């Protein structure tokens, strides 16, 4: 049991546990040499004793360390003590990449592009990671993403492993492509592909749910290619994936005020301040603003018109022309003003005579005032038209609900301007209308902020279960921005919120009562109504996980029961069923090894029995073969090692003896007889020889005894030929001669000057004299 303060080695002390699993525990440790924290992954006792696994880990992490990529977590390799084996690595204090779920697409791309680069380097070195997922990308204290936990001991995680990995196929680069696609999918959507249906992940006919609509099309297409069910349909090179991600990041618009309620506040511009919701229309301003007057259509008389009229009247005197002009202005521009300012009177005919020159100056002054008044009226009309257009757009965005003091002030100024126009105070009206424009500027500028506030308020209301408040917030957001998909999705969720909450309450009650099937049904119904209902997805995951645990425990129990009954096929089937439920469970490899060990033990026992029986039958070569087949299964079996040491010399001795006995003519050679006698001596020294060895010893002894008894050999010649027997000597010339030779093969040669030599090969067999040998040189040269 590992404990805080425990020392793994002389310079490494455990500080606190960071994580634990079936195959290892991860601890924060203090290393004296570094005088700083490190992370250590301590293997389980079973894995620490497995030399093959330790060697594989050491080799793979040594290759990874040699890459030297800045986005790969530095691991020092496998270290061991008398009790433990561990991997020491840099401590990544920033957590892992799962904390980026639901962040903006730009943030996610910035964090994953370095991991794509790291994987490209890994693949170029011929290494496959095998377990790419957000939890295996750690963040350093400064936020640098670091690829970690190469899956040397893993077949991948259920929701990020490719269908081929889940089916047990050998690891390949295509598996890492799929894992990287699953990583992007999880960060962009908030959950892994096919979650929580683990069975769908291994079904090559199923496709994951589409990514959210706000994800750019280029990123969606890339993720779809990475998650292709067939390996050949996925990108082949992670370098190309990295380039596609960089292009997608470059194509994103510059950061703007946040408009998605799911994006965290940490990525909003610092200048944006979100105020709490709850805007209400100002008092007395419950209706939209309406125009109270229209621009006049009465014709205006220009100086050119007056000039033409004066010309048609015969070019009268200038004083008469000015009078006519004044009458024209009064008649065409402001006839109604004159009527309202002077009551109607019936003037005597005599009063219509032309006024004297001294009274024409006031008429000229009134003309100039009328012109300025007309100009002011036109300017006010134009300004009012622009304000009307802006107000109409703001009214379409429900400004009365959120405009506050600005819209109230704008309404008041507009009403006052209308009163000034009624009073023909056009200059004052223009001034008031000019005061409205900054207020409208402020409202138009504030609209995006109000939109963000309403989205946030709607999201909080959904979270709190307040459906009406959520509807109100999202409806206002849609008035502010009719095509806002976040608001549309939120309004849809608000419409089903009460029904979803009722289903969730029911499901959780059923779950508490132990009715898992009915609870799952209610959770699924809630999720069908609202795909973003976190409580529903968590409930489904919780129940299915518990059911999987129960099924796993049941399968393991069946397997061990069958194993106890030596029903190995049934035990293997049960353990494989447990593996399908929980692929990463460390108990399964251990149980399968136990099956293999017991089966191997049974086979070894049979082979040892057969080898011992062959020994008793003096079939030494066959016995050695059986003993060696046992050692091929388990080199540590002492009985097999002893059997090989015992039977091998006897097998060699038996082979030599059989060679002499099956080829006795070899004994006629003096050198062979010497070796044969040594072999016979060694064989005779064996205690308790069996019947076969005893027969071999007796037969070989008889052959060697006979081979040492000389045999008479008769030679005939012509008393002219010189006769020589190799290895015996020169016999000279003779007509007939007899001598005794030890059994064996001999060469007799005859020579005579002027004649060809004669050569005879003779074999002297024990106990029987050969036919006379004739040796004469008769063939002249």
Tens-place pLDDT, residues 597-646: 888 888 888 899 999 999 999 999 999 999 999 898 888 889 999 999 99
Spatial neighbors of 414 by CB under 8 A, at least 6 apart, are: 289, 387, 432, 433, 436
User: How far is the CA of 762 from the CAs of 210, 533, 727, 752, 758, in angstroms?
Assistant: 99, 108, 13, 21, 13
DSSP-derived 3-state class of residue 769: coil
pLDDT of 647 reads 93
Residue 492 Cα distances to 70, 126, 278, 475, 524, angstroms: 45, 49, 21, 10, 18
The predicted-structure confidence for 219-240, as pLDDT tens digits, reads as follows 999 999 999 999 999 999 999 9
Give the least confident one: 151-160, 162-171, 182-191, 652-661.
Answer: 151-160
d(CA 72, CA 3): 29
Task: Give the residue with greater pLDDT, 717 vs 335.
Answer: 717
Q: Is residue 254 predicted with pLDDT exceeding 80?
A: no
Q: Where are the alpha helices (DSSP H) in 351-403?
A: 360-396, 399-402
| Percent residues over pLDDT 70 in the chain | 84
DSSP state of 770: P
Q: How far apart are CA 111 and CA 731, in angstroms?
A: 106
Long-range contacts of 428-437, Cβ-Cβ distance < 8 Å, separation of 24 or more:
429/380, 430/376, 430/379, 430/380, 430/383, 433/380, 433/383, 433/384, 433/387, 434/383, 436/387, 436/410, 437/387
Kindly tell me if the per-residue pLDDT of 13 is higher than 80: yes
Residues 6+ apart with CB under 8 A from 699: 661
Residue bearing the bigger pLDDT, 43 or 318: 43
Enumerate the domain spans of the chain: 7-89, 97-255, 360-482, 496-577, 586-708, 711-774
pLDDT digits (tens, 9 = 90+) for 277-309: 333 333 333 333 333 333 333 334 343 443 333
Pairing of β 773-774 and β 711-716: parallel
- Looking up tokens 């439920």, which residue turns up? 581
pTM of the model as a whole: 0.38
Place 325 in a pLDDT band, splitting at 50, 70 and 90.
Answer: very low
**Matching CATH number, 586-708, of 2.40.50, 3.90.550, 1.25.40, 1.10.3470:** 1.25.40
Beta strand 145-147 with 137-139 is antiparallel
Give φ, ψ of 97 to 5 degrees. -75, -10
CATH 3.30.200.20 for domain 7-89: yes
By the 10 Å C-beta count (0-12 exposed, 13-18 middle, 19+ buried), 1 is classed as exposed
The predicted pLDDT at position 51 comes to: 82
Dihedral angle sign, alpha carbons of residues 35, 40, 46, 51: negative
275 pLDDT higher than 70: no
C-alpha distances in Å from residue 73, one per residue of 156, 266, 315, 352:
19, 26, 101, 107
User: Which pLDDT band holds residue 360 (cuts at 50, 70, 90)?
Assistant: very low
Q: List all residues 6 or more positions away from 325 whose beta carbon is below 8 Å from its beta carbon.
A: 303, 306, 310, 367
Q: Over 50: is that where the pLDDT of 406 sits?
A: yes
Q: What percent of the chain has pLDDT over 90?
A: 49
pLDDT at 153: 65
pLDDT at 256: 42
CATH topology agreement for domains 7-89 and 97-255 = no
Handedness of CA 681, 682, 687, 688 (dihedral sign): negative
Residue 200 has what pLDDT? 84
For position 601, what pLDDT does the model report?
84
- Assess whether pLDDT exceeds 60 at residue 426: yes
**Fold annotation for 97-255:** Transferase(Phosphotransferase); domain 1 (1.10.510)
Buried b or exposed e, range 149-181, using 16+ CB within 10 angstroms: bbbbbbbbbbbbbbbbbbeeeebbbbbbbbbbb
Q: d(Cα 114, Cα 640) in Å, to the nearest integer?
A: 56
How many residues belong to the chain? 781
Phi/psi for 540 (5° steps) reads: -60, -45
Q: Show the tokens assigned to 28.
A: 């924060």
Neighbour-count burial of 311, counting CB atoms closer than 10 A to its CB (0-12 exposed, 13-18 middle, 19+ buried): exposed
**Does residue 330 have a pLDDT over 90?**
no
Bond from prior residue into 196 cis (ω within 30 degrees of 0):
yes
Tokens of 127: 């290494």
Q: What is the pLDDT of residue 154?
A: 67
Q: Do residues 729 and 749 touch, judged by C-beta distance below 8 A?
A: no
Best-predicted range by mean pLDDT among 109-113, 124-128, 702-706?
A: 109-113
Instruction: Output 120 or 78, whichever has higher pLDDT.
Output: 120
**Whether the Cβ atoms of residue 461 and residue 493 lie closer than 8 Å to each other:** no
- Beta-carbon contacts of 252 under 8 Å, excluding residues fewer than 6 positions away, are 105, 106, 109, 216
Whether the per-residue pLDDT at 112 is higher than 90: the answer is: yes
**CA distances in angstroms from 534 to 460, 544, 619, listed in the order given:** 14, 15, 75
pLDDT tier, 33 (very low <50, low <70, confident <90, very high otherwise): low
Helical spans, DSSP H, in 685-771: 691-707
More confident residue, 43 or 94: 43
Assign a CATH topology to domain 496-577. Answer: 1.25.40
**Confidence at residue 299, expressed as pLDDT on a 0 to 100 scale:** 38
| Mean pLDDT, residues 457-485 | 93
The two tokens of residue 364 are: 């000229």
Mean of per-residue pLDDT scores for the chain: 82
DSSP state, 567? -
Give strand ranges (E) for 463-597. none
Cα–Cα distance, 599 to 606 (Å, whole number): 11
What is the band of 111 on the pLDDT scale with cuts at 50, 70, 90? very high
When pLDDT is averaged across residues 731-735 and rounded to a whole number, the result is 94
pLDDT digits (tens, 9 = 90+) for 502-532: 999 999 999 899 898 999 999 999 999 999 9
What is the average pLDDT across 668-681? 87
Q: CA-to-CA distance for 183 and 222, rounded, in angstroms?
A: 12
Q: Residue 708 pLDDT > 70, yes or no? A: yes
pLDDT tens per residue, range 761-770: 988 888 778 8
Specify the range with the lowest mean pLDDT, choosing from 56-70, 156-170, 265-279, 654-668.
265-279
Is residue 158 very low, low, confident or very high in pLDDT (cuts 50, 70, 90)? confident
CA pair distance 83, 579, nearest whole angstrom: 29
What's the average model confidence in pLDDT over 171-179?
95
Residue 516 CB coordination number (10 Å): 16
């Amino acid at each position: 049991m590992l404990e805080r303060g425990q020392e793994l080695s002389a310079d490494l002390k455990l500080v606190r546990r960071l994580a634990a699993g079936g195959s290892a525990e991860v601890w924060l440790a203090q290393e004296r040499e570094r005088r700083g924290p490190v992370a250590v992954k301590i293997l389980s006792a079973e894995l620490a004793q497995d030399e093959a696994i330790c060697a594989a880990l050491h080799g793979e992490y040594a290759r990874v360390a040699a890459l030297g990529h800045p986005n790969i977590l530095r691991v020092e390799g496998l270290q061991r003590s008398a009790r433990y084996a561990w991997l020491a690595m840099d401590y990544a204090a920033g957590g892992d990449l799962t904390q980026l779920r639901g962040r903006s697409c730009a943030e996610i791309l910035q964090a994953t592009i370095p991991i794509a680069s790291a994987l490209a380097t890994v693949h170029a070195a011929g290494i496959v990671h095998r377990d790419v997922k957000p939890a295996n990308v750690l963040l350093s204290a400064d936020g640098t993403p670091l690829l970690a936990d190469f899956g040397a001991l893993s077949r991948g995680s259920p929701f990020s492993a490719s269908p081929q990995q889940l089916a047990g196929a050998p690891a390949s680069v295509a598996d890492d492509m799929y894992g990287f696609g699953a990583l992007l999918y999880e960060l962009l959507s908030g959950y892994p592909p096919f979650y929580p249906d683990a069975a769908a992940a291994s079904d090559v006919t199923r496709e994951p749910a589409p990514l959210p609509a706000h994800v750019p099309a280029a990123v969606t297409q890339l993720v779809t290619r990475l998650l292709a069910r067939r390996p050949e349909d996925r990108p082949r090179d992670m370098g190309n994936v990295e380039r596609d991600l960089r292009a997608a990041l470059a194509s994103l618009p510059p950061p703007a005020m946040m408009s998605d309620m799911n994006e965290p506040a940490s990525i909003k511009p610092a200048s944006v301040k979100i105020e709490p919701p709850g805007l209400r229309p100002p008092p007395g301003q419950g209706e939209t603003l309406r125009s109270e007057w229209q621009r006049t259509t009465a014709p205006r008389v220009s100086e050119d018109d007056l000039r033409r009229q004066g010309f048609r009247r015969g070019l009268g005197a200038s004083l008469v022309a000015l009078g006519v002009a004044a009458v024209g202005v009064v008649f065409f521009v402001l006839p109604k003003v004159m009527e309202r300012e002077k009551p109607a009177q019936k003037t005597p005919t005599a009063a219509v005579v032309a006024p004297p020159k001294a009274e024409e100056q006031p008429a000229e002054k009134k003309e100039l005032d009328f012109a300025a008044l007309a100009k002011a009226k036109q300017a006010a009309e134009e300004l009012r038209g622009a304000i009307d257009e802006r107000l109409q757009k703001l009214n379409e965005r429900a400004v009365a609900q959120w405009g506050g003091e600005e819209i109230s002030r704008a309404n008041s100024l507009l009403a006052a301007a209308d009163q000034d126009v009624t009073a023909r105070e056009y200059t004052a009206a223009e001034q008031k209308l000019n005061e409205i424009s900054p207020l409208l500027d402020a409202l138009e500028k504030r609209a995006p902020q109000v939109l963000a506030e309403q989205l946030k308020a709607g999201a909080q209301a959904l979270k709190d279960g307040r459906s009406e408040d959520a509807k109100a917030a999202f409806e206002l957001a849609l008035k502010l921005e009719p095509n806002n998909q976040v608001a549309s999705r939120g309004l849809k969720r608000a419409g089903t919120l009460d029904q979803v909450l009722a289903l969730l309450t029911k499901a959780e009650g059923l779950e508490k009562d132990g009715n898992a099937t009915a609870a799952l049904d209610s959770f699924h119904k809630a999720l069908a109504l609202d795909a973003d209902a976190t409580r529903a997805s968590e409930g489904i995951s919780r129940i299915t996980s518990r059911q999987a645990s129960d099924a796993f425990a049941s399968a393991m129990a069946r397997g061990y029961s069958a194993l106890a009954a030596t029903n190995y096929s049934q035990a293997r089937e049960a353990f494989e069923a447990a593996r399908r439920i929980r692929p990463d469970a460390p108990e399964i490899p251990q149980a399968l090894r136990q099956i293999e060990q017991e089966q191997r033990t049974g086979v070894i026992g049979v082979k040892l029995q057969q080898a011992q029986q062959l020994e008793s039958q003096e079939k030494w070569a066959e016995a050695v073969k059986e003993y060696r087949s046992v050692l091929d299964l388990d080199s540590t079996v002492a009985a097999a090692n002893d059997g090989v040491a015992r039977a091998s010399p006897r097998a060699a001795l038996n082979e030599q003896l059989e060679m002499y006995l099956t080829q006795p003519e070899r004994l006629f050679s003096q050198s062979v007889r010497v070796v044969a006698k040594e072999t016979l001596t060694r064989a005779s020294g064996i205690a308790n020889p069996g019947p076969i060895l005893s027969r071999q010893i007796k037969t070989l002894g008889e052959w060697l005894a006979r081979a040492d008894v000389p045999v008479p050999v008769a030679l005939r010649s012509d008393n002219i030929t010189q006769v020589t027997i190799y290895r015996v000597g020169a016999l000279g010339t003779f007509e007939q001669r007899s001598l005794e030779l030890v059994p064996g093969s001999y060469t007799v040669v005859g020579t005579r000057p002027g004649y060809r030599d004669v050569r005879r090969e003779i074999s002297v067999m024990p106990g029987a004299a050969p036919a006379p040998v004739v040796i004469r040189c008769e063939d002249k040269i």
